[in-house]
Structure 1
Amino acid sequence: MLRSLSIKNFALIEQLQVSFDAGLITITGETGAGKSLLLGALGLLLGKRADLSSIKDSTAKCVIEGGFDIKQYELHSLFEEYELDYDDHTIIRREILPSGKSRAFINDTPVTLQSLNALGVQLIDIHSQHQTLQVTTNDYQFEVLDALSEVDRELTSYQRGLILLKQKQKEVNLLINNQEEYTKEFEYNSFLLKELEEGKLKVGELKELEEQYETLINIEEIRERLSESLSLLSKEEAGISDQLNIVKTNMAKIAPYSGVLDNLSERIQSVYIELEDVNNSLYDELDGLEADPELLEQVSQRLQMIHNLQSKHGVTTIDELIEIRDQLQIKVAKTASLTDDIETIQKEISTIKKQLDQVALKIHNKRRKALPKLVSELENILKALGMSNATFKTSLGLQDSYLSNGKEVLEFLFSANKGGAFGELRKVASGGELSRIMIGVKAILSRYTQLPTIIFDEIDTGVSGEIAHKMADLMKVMSKNLQVFSITHLPQIAANGQSQYKVFKEDIDNVTITQLKLLTEKERIREIAEMIGGKNVSDSALTHAKSLLYPG
C-alpha cells in the first residue's frame, strides 16, 4: 500500500509531498494539469529508465521517494533474494543526477533497476486504457483462472517437477549426442585397444628385449671372443692369471720391508682376486651361451610388434603405449556404459512425466470446476457495467505438451452482442469494452488474492450515466481488499473515493508548477460540481455534487 509520495524537481513539479490512506482514492483535475506526471514519477520509482529531460532544474538532482506498507504482501523471500533489509514500512527512493546518472535505493540500500522493478511490480499495478490488452493474453487469463481455482500448491509442485524434467532431458540429450560421437569411434578404438591389450606390454621391457636380441644375433662372435679372452687369462704358465700369481707371490715376500711395498702387495692381491672372479664369470657366461634360433625369432617378432605399435601411435616408449591403452579402455568402457546411463535417465524421465501428469490432471480438474464460476461472475459484472449482452465461450483442453503452467490450452472467446460471432478478445473487443473487462477481472481477483495497489488511469473513458455509478461502486468494493487509485474525469467515480486529490497548475514567480492537494469537504463539493457543469458552477451542479457525495 502506497502511504506517502515525495517528488522533487521532476518536470513541472517543484516540490510535492503527500500522504495516502487505504481504500478508494480518486485523483481529478483538468486535462493537462499534470496527472500523467504523477504516473511518470511513480514509473521511475518502480524501475523505469530515467531521462535527463525529466529534471525541472538541470542544475539540481531529481528525487522521488515512496513509502509503502508491505506487511500483507509476504515479500520476505524477495528481499532475501536481492539481499535487502526487510521492513514492513519500506522506503523506495530514486535519484536522477544533473549528469544524467540515476541511482535507486530500497531502505537506503543501493539497488539495480532490476531489483527495483522486481519489487515494484509487487507493490503497484498501473492500468491505463491501452494497458488493458494484458487481459487478452493467455498467460493472464490463466492467472485469473488460477486465482479462483486455488491451485497454488499444485502449480508449485508441477513447476518444480517441470524444472527437474527439463534438467533430465538435457542430460539425456547430451548423453545421446556423446553416444553418437563415441559410437563412430567405438569399433576403431576397440580394435586399437585389443592390439595393445594382446601385446601385454610391461614397463622396461623394451630395453631387456633389445639386449636379448643383440646377444642372440651376435652369439658366435661373443663365444669366440670369450674363448680367446679365457685362453689369455688361464693358459698354463703363460696365462695372465699364472703370471699375476707370480707377481703376487714376489710382492708378498718383500711386503714386510716397507709400508709402500706392503700397500702394493695388498693391491696386487686385490687385482688377483678380481681377475679370478672375472675368469670364473667368463667361464659361466661362455658355458651359458647357446645358439637358439627359435628364441631369436620370438624376440625379433616381439620387438617388431612393439616398434609397429610405437609407429602407429606416434610414440617412442612402452610407457606411452601403456598410457594410450589405459585411455582407450576408459573410452571404450564409457561408450559401453552410455547405453545403460541413457536407459536409467529415460526411466527417471518417464517417472517424472507420470508424476507431472497426475499433478497436471489435478490442476485441470480444479480449473475446469472454477472456469464456469469465473465466466458467470465476469458476465454479471459486465452486465452491471452496461454490457448486457456480453458473453464468453470458453474451453479448457488437456494436451501432451508440458507448458510452464500445466498441460492445458485455454480458449477464451468473447462476444459483445446477441447473436454476434465469438472471437479472441484482442480481435473483437473495443478499447472501452476491454477497459470494463479488465476492471471486472480485477474486481474478481481482489476477492481471491492479495493484489498490489491498483492505479486506474482514466480507464473509465467513454463511460457515463448509470454505468459510471456502477463502475464507481465496483471500484469501491475492490477498495475493501486493496488500495485503489482512480485518475478520473467522471464525477460519479470521484465522489465515491474515501479521499479525493486534485492536480492543478499554478504560476509562481512567472513559473508554472504542478501541485497535488487533498481536498476538504467543501473543496470536494466544488470540484465535483465543476466536473458536472464546468467552471461556472450552478446551484443545481452543487446540489448534484452533494447528492453524489452523500447519497440517500
Structure 2
Amino acid sequence: MLAELTIKNFAIIESLTISFEKGLTVLTGETGAGKSIIIDAIHLLAGGRGSSEFVRYGEKRAELEGLFLLDDEKHTVYEKCEQFGIDIGDGMVVLRRDISETGKSICRVNGKLVTIAILREVGQTLVDIHGQHDNQELMNEENHLALLDQYGGNKISSAKAVYMELYEKYDQLKRKINKFSQNEQEMAHRLDLIQFQLDEIEAAKLEPNEDEKLQIEKNEISNYEKMYDALKNSYNALHGEGKGLDWIGLAMGQMEEISSINDTLKEISESVSNSYYQLEDLSYQLRNELDSLEFDPERLNFVESRLNEISHLKRKYGHSVEDILIYASKIEEEIETIVNKDSHLNKLMNELDSIEKDLLVEANNLTNVRTKCAETLTKEILRELKELYMDKTVFKVHFSPDSEDGSIKFHADGADVIEFYLSTNPGEPLKSLSKTASGGELSRIMLAMKSIFSEHQGITSIIFDEVDTGVSGRVAQSIAEKIYRVSVGSQVLCITHLPQVAAMADTHLYISKSTNDGRTKTSVKPLGEEEKIREIGRMIAGVEVTELSREHAKELIALAHSAKN
C-alpha cells in the first residue's frame, strides 16, 4: 500500500505530506482544489510522462516521494527490483522523482538512481491508475491476452510453460533457417572471409599452449649468461679440493666417530650425512645443467619471430592460442555448413516440421485452457455488470488465431489473438471494447472488469480518478459498493463527486485551496465523523448544507455501514 506521499513545489502545491491507510480512501473537495493534482503526482512518481509545467511557478524543481509498504513477500516488485539491482529492506519501497524547471527528471528507487523507464517498470507493479477516460490497460486490446492469462492463474501458466519450452526450440530453428536463406552474395562473401581466416590459422600450425612454452624458452635464452655464471659458481663452491663438500665431508667423518656416545649425537650425525649426500647429488645436477647449457642466437630469433606471429593472430582471433584454435574449429564447422547448405537446410526444415506439429498440439491445448477460463471470466463479468444495472450487456472474449498467409503464426504467448468484445444495447452487434462504450457505461464496464482483475494482478494501490462520472441514483450506489469491494483486496484511492462513494470510505480526505500573499496553496485534511457528514451533505446539496442534506448524509453513511457488513 501507499503509506505516505510527499509533494513539494508541484503545480499549485507548495508543500504537502499525506498519510494513507488501508482500505478505501476518498478524496473530495471543490473543483480546482487540487484533487487531480495529487493523482498526477502519484502518476509521475510511478514513471508517468512529466514536463517543466508541473514545477510550481518561481521554483527551481518539484519533488515527489512515496513510501510503499509490502505485506506479500512474493510481490512482483521484489523480482523487478532484483532485476535492476535494487535492494528492498523491511518490505519498504521508496520512489522519488525530482523534476527541474528545464523538464529533466532525476529518479530514485530506494535511494538508487534509475532511469524513468526503470521507475515506470517498478511503479507499474505498485500503482494502477484509472481515470474517467481510461485508455490504458483494460481499454488496450494488446493487454487483453495478458489479463486473461493472469485471471487463469496456474491453469494457463502450466499449459503455457509446456508450450514455451517447445516454442524456444522452434524459434531457434527458425533463426537458423532464416540465416541459411539470406542473400546468396552475402553468404559467398562470408565463406570467402572465414575460409581466408581458417587458412591463415592452419598455416601457422599452432600447438596448444605453444605461446606459453615459447615465452619460457625466450626467457631462458635471453638470460643465458646470467644462468651460466650462477650455475658455474654454484658448482665450484661445492665441488673441488677445499670446497663446500670437502668441509661437509670432514664434518660428517668427525660426527660418525662420536655418534655412538648418545642418541642426540647420533641424530646430528645422520642429519649431516644426509645433507652431504643431498648436496653431492645437487652438485652433479648443477654440472649436468651447466654441460647442457648453450647459447643459440638463431633459436632466439626464431622464438621471437614465432611469438610475433602468434601475437598477430591473437589480435584477430582470440586472447590465447586455445581461443584461436577454438575459433578455427568453429569457422571450420561453419564452412562445412555453408558448403553443404542444401543438405543442412533440409535437415533443419525436417526438424522444424516435426517441432511445429508438436507446437501446434500444445498451442491448441493452451487455447482450450484459455477458452475455458474465458467462459468463467465472461460469467463473472456479466454478473458484475448486472449488479451495476447493465444486465442487457453482452460480453465476450473474442479469440482469433494469429495467422500469416493462411498458416498459424506462433508467438511467445501461443497462437491466440484475444480481444474483449461488448454490446451494451440489445440487437447491437458485438464490437471491440475500446470502440463500444462511453461516458457512464465506460465507467461501469471498467469498474466491473477491474473488480475481477484486481484480485489476480497483485497491485499494491489502485487509484480511481472520477470513474463515477456520468452516473447517479441506484447505479451510483452500486458503483460505490463495487469500489469498496475492490478495496477489500487492495488499497484504493478514489477521487469522487458522488456522495454514495464518499459514504463508503474508510478514510475521507478533504482537499481545499487558499490564497496567502497572492499565492494559491492546497491543503489536505482527514475528516472526522461530523466533518464527513457535513462534506457529504455539501456533495448532496451543493454550496449550502441544509438540515435535510445532513440527514440524507447520515442515512447514506448508515447504508454504507450496512453494505460493508
Q: Given the two structures, how large is their TM-score scaled by the length of structure 1? A: 0.69
Give the aligned length: 412
SS at match of 1:14: strand
Which shifted more, 131-140 or 58-67? 131-140
- The one-letter code of the counterpart of 1:106 is V
Taking the aligned partners of 1:104 and 1:487, their CA distance within structure 2 comes to 26
- Any residues of structure 2 matched to 1:281-292 within 5 Å, and which? none
SS at match of 2:490: coil
Could you tell me how far 1:490 is from its partner in structure 2? 0.2
Which shifted more, 351-360 or 485-494? 351-360
Partner residue in 1 for 2:28: 28
Taking the aligned partners of 2:495 and 2:38, their CA distance within structure 1 comes to 10
Taking the aligned partners of 1:19 and 1:330, their CA distance within structure 2 comes to 65
Post-superposition Cα deviations, 1:134-184, rounded to whole Å, max 9, x if no partner, equal 434333332332233221233344345434433331221112326676589
- The one-letter code of the counterpart of 1:20 is F
**Are the counterparts in 1 of residues 337 and 344 from structure 2 also a CA contact under 8 Å?**
no
Which of 463, 477, 480 is the equivalent residue of 2:485? 477
Q: Cα 1:330–1:41, aligned 2, differ >3 Å: closer, same or farther? A: closer
- Any residues of structure 2 matched to 1:48-447 within 5 Å, and which? 48-72=48-72, 73-87=75-89, 88-98=91-101, 100-132=103-135, 134-150=137-153, 151-159=156-164, 161-177=166-182, 333-398=336-401, 400-410=408-418, 412-447=420-455
Post-superposition Cα deviations, 1:284-311, rounded to whole Å, max 9, x if no partner, equal xxxxxxxxxxxxxxxxxxxxxxxxxxxx
Partner residue in 1 for 2:475: 467
**Are the counterparts in 1 of residues 420 and 432 from structure 2 also a CA contact under 8 Å?**
yes
Q: Structure 2: 5+ residue runs without aligned partners?
A: 192-331, 403-407
- The one-letter code of the counterpart of 1:524 is K
Taking the aligned partners of 1:375 and 1:448, their CA distance within structure 2 comes to 15
**Are the counterparts in 2 of residues 360 and 406 from structure 1 also a CA contact under 8 Å?**
yes
Identity of aligned residues (%): 34
- The one-letter code of the counterpart of 2:530 is K
**Are the counterparts in 2 of residues 472 and 492 from structure 1 also a CA contact under 8 Å?**
yes
Partner residue in 1 for 2:19: 19
Could you tell me how far 1:331 is from its partner in structure 2? 9.3
Post-superposition Cα deviations, 1:339-371, rounded to whole Å, max 9, x if no partner, equal 343234334433443443233223212111122
Q: Cα 1:78–1:160, aligned 2, differ >3 Å: closer, same or farther? A: farther
Partner residue in 2 for 1:218: none
Partner residue in 2 for 1:10: 10
- The one-letter code of the counterpart of 2:449 is V
Could you tell me how far 1:402 is from its partner in structure 2? 1.0
Taking the aligned partners of 1:511 and 1:185, their CA distance within structure 2 comes to 70
Which shifted more, 406-415 or 503-512? 406-415
Taking the aligned partners of 1:185 and 1:516, their CA distance within structure 2 comes to 69
Which of 472, 491, 497 is the equivalent residue of 2:499? 491
Taking the aligned partners of 2:149 and 2:101, their CA distance within structure 1 comes to 46
Partner residue in 1 for 2:276: none
Partner residue in 2 for 1:224: none
Taking the aligned partners of 1:37 and 1:110, their CA distance within structure 2 comes to 25
**Are the counterparts in 2 of residues 35 and 487 from structure 1 also a CA contact under 8 Å?**
yes
Q: Cα 1:345–1:59, aligned 2, differ >3 Å: closer, same or farther? A: same
**1:451 lines up with 2:450 in the alignment:** no
Q: Given the two structures, how large is their TM-score scaled by the length of structure 2? A: 0.67
Partner residue in 2 for 1:546: 554
User: Please, what is the CA RMSD of the aligned residues?
Assistant: 2.8
SS at match of 2:410: strand
SS at match of 2:427: coil
Could you tell me how far 1:440 is from its partner in structure 2? 0.7
Taking the aligned partners of 1:360 and 1:63, their CA distance within structure 2 comes to 49
**Are the counterparts in 1 of residues 45 and 64 from structure 2 also a CA contact under 8 Å?**
yes
